[in-house]
Structures are given as structure tokens and as C-alpha cells.
């Protein structure tokens, strides 16, 4: 297999020579072709010049330079889109992931898996601002999505390029890659990987990122369950509001008709009006969501299914069958 190793870089001046040396040592033992893609995410510590030096002396190195800092997800997405190998390896640039785990992960790909994600079982990080938030986040993500995983925050992954390049990554979505790939039918497996303490520099990501991860988790849950048909989500809420409006409206009419109760400022009357308005709003959101979903699929020539392979038949018939499907 041809392999592309994607490494997002942000102010890793001291780590880059050792990282390149370790990757070069491991990948030279790989029987296929390989490339090392370093994506600089707007570094300001001289990392860019060091990357230029690596690209000049090693033809396996490809460097993607951002105009400014866009974040780890954007850097990873850019690296994946520039990958030319059959398999993409993603890893951090801080020397905490171990390149020696790459052959083991590639062996899993050869067994038939589409994605192999690492589990830092013996994580070498501080407990309060790194390990504890990660444990809580992984538990929440696993429970809410139903996807069994111990460590979504581990950047070290191996994924078939055809699947990796289908994923739309933004925000903090890079940590949800296994879930997004699984949604598209990828066969995933988790393996224990080594983890080392940071030798140079300081971590760029701490407990302050927790809020963004939680918000992206809400987004991922919505995409997993309701992206193809948003009306099932908004319409359900709208219908419950309609039921509340009908019940409170019936009680209000009964109070007026049989009890002669003054309706001025009556809470049930206000609830009827409010629930009716909310019902219309959610139904309208559902309709707008359905229109947007259809524009997304039709306008971009996308499908809500993925084909692993086509067996038998003439090529013309295969193409015609796929278009009809």
C-alpha cells in the first residue's frame, strides 16, 4: 500500500527534526511508497523555515502552509485532501504519538478494516486539564452516539484515503472521524497505542476546548440521526407543541363555555397561543431543513449511501445501475 502520513504542525520548531527522523526510520521499512505531509497551521516560532528545509532535503516530504491559524481540524482536513496514498495516517506533531505504531495499524488495514484508531491506554498527560476532561468527553460521546470507543481524542489513526476524503471536517470534528466514518459504513477497530510525555514546547489545547467539543457533539448527533430528514426532528417537536396547544385550547374553551371564567390574562389561553406559534416555527424549520438537505444532495451530486464495490456485469451496466440507484 502507498501511505500518506498527515501531521498538523503549530509551533513545533524543536520537535520537527526528531519527528521527521522517527517517521523516516519507520516508513523506510514500509514496502510501498510513502509521503510525509506536514500542514503548518500558521506557526510563528520558525517552524515554517524548518519545514522548508525538510522538504528541500527529503523528496518524501510535502508541506502545506496555511496563511494563518485555522485550527487542528482544518489542518488535518487539508492534509487528507492533499494525500495521494491509498491509506492516510494522521498523528500529532508533538512526539507524543509513536511512529512505531504505524506498521501495526497498517497491518490492521490489510486485514480488511477501513479505519484503525488509537487508544492511549497509558496516557502521559496531566490529569486535571487533559486526562479528566478527555475521560468525561469520551464517556459522553460514547453514550450519546452509541459508538463504543475509549479514546476519541487520539490523533493517531489509519484510514483508507477514499473514506477519509469523503469526510467533511470543520470545527472540532477531527476527533469524531471514527464516528463519521462508521456512519458511512467504514469497518472500524480500536487498538492500544503508545503515548509519550511532551519533550519540547507546551500543549496548544487544554480544558478550554471542552465547550466547543460539546457543541460539536450536539452537531454530530443531529447529523447522525436527522441529517437526511430534518423534519423527523423538528416536526416531532412541532407536533408535541400542537398537542399541547390543542389540550390547553380545549380546556380554555371549556372554562369559558361552562364556567364563565374571564379569559383576560388566562395562562392557558397564553399557553395555547404560544404553543401554536412554536409549533408553526418548528414545522417551518423542518421544511427549510428538508429543502436544504435536498439542495445538498442534488446540487453537489452527492448520495445518502456509499458503495463499497461492484461485482460482476459489464462496466456500462454497472454505471447505469449506480445512476438509477
Question: How far is 29 from 16, CA to CA, in rounded Å?
Answer: 20
pLDDT tens-place string over residues 226-265: 877 888 889 999 999 999 999 998 988 888 787 777 777 7
Q: Write the CA distances from 55 to 58, 60, 290, integer angstroms.
A: 5, 8, 47
Q: Write the CA distances from 206 to 15, 52, 125, 210, integer angstroms.
A: 19, 29, 11, 8
pLDDT band, very low/low/confident/very high, at 325 (cuts 50, 70, 90): very low
User: What are the beta bridge partners of residue 158?
Assistant: 89, 116
Q: Which long-range contacts (CB under 8 A, 24 or more apart) does 102-106 make?
A: 102/3, 102/5, 102/26, 102/27, 102/158, 103/26, 103/29, 103/30, 104/191, 105/156, 105/157, 105/158, 105/191, 105/193, 106/1, 106/3, 106/30, 106/158
> 33-47, 118-132, 190-204, 233-247: which range is least confident on average?
118-132
Residue (of 64, 85, 108) closest to 5 by Cα position? 85
pLDDT of residue 315: 54
pLDDT of residue 133: 67
pLDDT at 26 over 60: yes
pLDDT at 170 over 90: no
User: What are the beta bridge partners of residue 116?
Assistant: 158, 189
pLDDT tens-place string over residues 44-69: 888 999 999 999 999 999 999 999 99
pTM score, two decimals? 0.73
- Hey, where are the domains in the chain? 3-226, 231-299
Give mean pLDDT, residues 116-139: 73
Question: Strand, helix or coil at 30?
Answer: coil
pLDDT of residue 204: 57
Instruction: Classify domain 3-226 at the CATH superfamily level.
Output: Spore Coat Polysaccharide Biosynthesis Protein SpsA; Chain A (3.90.550.10)
Amino acid at each position: 500500500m502507498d501511505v500518506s502520513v498527515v501531521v498538523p504542525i503549530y509551533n513545533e520548531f524543536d520537535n520537527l527534526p526528531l519527528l521527521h527522523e522517527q517517521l523516516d526510520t519507520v516508513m523506510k521499512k514500509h514496502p510501498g511508497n510513502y509521503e510525509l505531509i506536514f500542514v503548518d497551521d500558521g506557526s510563528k516560532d520558525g517552524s515554517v523555515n524548518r519545514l522548508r528545509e525538510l522538504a528541500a532535503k527529503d523528496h518524501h516530504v510535502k508541506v502545506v502552509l496555511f496563511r494563518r491559524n485555522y485550527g487542528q481540524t482544518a489542518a488535518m482536513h487539508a492534509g487528507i485532501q492533499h494525500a495521494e496514498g491509498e491509506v492516510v495516517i494522521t498523528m500529532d506533531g508533538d512526539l507524543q504519538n509513536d511512529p512505531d505504531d504505524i506498521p501495526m495499524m497498517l497491518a490492521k488495514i490489510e486485514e480488511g478494516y477501513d479505519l484503525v484508531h488509537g487508544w492511549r491506554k497509558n496516557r502521559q498527560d496531566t490529569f486535571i486539564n487533559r486526562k479528566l476532561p478527555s475521560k468525561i468527553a469520551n464517556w459522553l460521546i460514547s453514550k450519546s452516539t452509541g459508538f463504543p470507543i475509549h479514546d476519541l481524542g487520539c490523533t493517531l489513526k489509519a484510514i483508507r484515503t477514499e473514506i477519509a476524503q469523503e469526510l467533511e471536517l470543520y470545527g472540532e470534528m477531527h476527533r469524531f472521524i471514527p464516528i463519521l466514518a462508521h456512519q458511512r459504513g467504514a469497518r472500524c477497530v480500536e487498538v492500544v497505542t503508545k503515548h509519550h510525555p511532551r519533550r519540547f514546547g507546551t500543549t496548544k489545547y487544554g480544558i478550554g476546548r471542552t465547550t466547543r467539543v460539546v457543541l460539536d457533539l450536539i452537531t454530530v448527533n443531529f447529523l447522525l440521526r436527522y441529517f437526511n430528514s430534518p423534519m423527523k426532528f423538528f416536526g416531532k417537536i412541532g407536533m408535541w407543541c400542537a398537542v399541547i396547544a390543542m389540550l390547553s385550547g380545549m380546556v380554555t374553551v371549556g372554562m369559558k363555555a361552562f364556567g364563565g371564567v374571564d379569559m383576560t390574562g388566562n395562562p392557558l389561553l397564553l399557553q395555547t397561543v404560544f404553543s401554536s406559534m412554536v409549533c408553526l416555527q418548528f414545522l417551518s424549520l423542518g421544511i427549510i431543513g428538508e429543502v436544504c438537505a435536498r439542495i445538498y444532495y442534488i446540487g453537489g451530486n452527492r448520495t445518502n449511501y456509499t458503495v463499497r464495490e461492484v461485482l460482476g456485469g459489464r462496466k456500462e451496466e454497472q454505471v447505469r445501475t449506480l445512476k438509477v440507484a
